Amino acid sequence: MTDSHVIFAGQSNALGYGVTTAAPYTPTARVQIWADTNGDGVGDAWNYMLPGTNTGTPTNPTVWGPEVEFANRWLADHATGYLWIDKIAKGSTGLAQDATQLDWSPHSTGEMYDIATASIHAAHDNLIGSPYAFTNWDAIERMQGETDATDQTKADAYAANLAEFATDARTDWNAPEIVVGRITDTAGTYNLTVRQAQWGDDQSDSQMVSFKTIGFEMQSDNLHYDANGQISLGNAFYDAFAV
C-alpha cells in the first residue's frame, strides 16, 4: 500500500475563491482531508474529502480548489493506498511580514505560518499509533504571491522571503519538496517581479519545482481561477509532484 501526504497552502487561489460549482469528483475513503469542523482554523479530524463541504473555510465554506483534480489524478495512478491532504489557505495573505495584515512570514507570530504549523502537526499526530501513521509529508503545494505583487517593496523581497519560507517550512513542517504555482500575468502590478522570483528560487533550490499558470481560465476579475482554471491548477500541481 502506498500512501501520499500533501499540504496545500497559500492564499485565495489555493483556496479556490469564487469556485462553488459542483466539483468533478466522486468522494472515496481513499482521499482524506484534515477538516476544520470546529472553526478554529487548525482542524480536528480526518474526513472523506467532500468538495464544497470541507474544502473551504468558515467564511468561504462551499469553495474547492486544486486539491480536487490533484486527488483525481492521484487516484488514477494509485490502485491502492490513501491520499492525505491538509489544506490551509486564506485570501489576501502575503508572504512579506506586514504588521497591518495577516501574512505567511515565519516571523509573524500567530499568523498564517503558525496556523499552518499547528494544523500540520495536529494532522500528523492524529494518526500516530494507527496503521496510517507516517513520518514526513511528501510535498507542500503552494499557490501564493498575488498580494505581494501589489506592492513593489514586497515584490522585490519575494525571492528572499520565499527562500526563507522554504527553509523554515521544510524543518517545521517536515516536508522536503515544495511545488510552487507561479502567479498569472494579471495578478498585481508587480506580478512579473514575483513570477521571476518564484522561477529563480526554483532554479536555485533542488527540492523546489514551479510551473506557470498564465493561460489558465480565470473568473471575470482576471485574478482568481474559475472551475476549469482550478482543474488546470490541480493537474499542474500533480504533474510537478509526480516528477
In a structure prediction context, what are the per-residue pLDDT tens digits for the chain, which is 243 residues long? 589 999 999 999 999 999 999 999 999 999 999 987 666 667 789 999 999 999 999 889 999 999 999 999 999 999 999 999 999 999 999 999 999 999 999 999 999 999 999 999 999 999 999 999 999 999 999 999 999 999 999 999 999 999 999 999 999 999 999 999 999 999 999 999 999 999 999 999 999 999 999 999 999 999 999 999 999 999 999 999 976
According to DSSP, the residues that pair with 209 across neighbouring strands are 179
Please give the C-alpha separations between residue 209 and each of 87, 124, 237, 241, in angstroms, as whole numbers.
19, 24, 9, 8
- Counting Cα atoms < 13 Å in the Cβ hemisphere of 227 gives 11
Say how many domains are in the chain.
1
Of 216, 207, 206, 182, whose CA–CA distance to 196 is shortest?
182
Burial zone of 172 (CB within 10 Å; 0-12 exposed, 13-18 middle, 19+ buried)? middle
- Domain that residue 139 falls in: 4-242
Q: What is the pLDDT of residue 36?
A: 74
- Which residue do the cell numbers 460549482 mark? 21
pLDDT of residue 243: 66
pLDDT of residue 1: 54
Q: What is the pLDDT of residue 48?
A: 96
What CATH number has the domain bearing residue 44?
3.40.50.1110
pLDDT given at position 221: 97
pLDDT at 66: 98
pLDDT of residue 60: 92
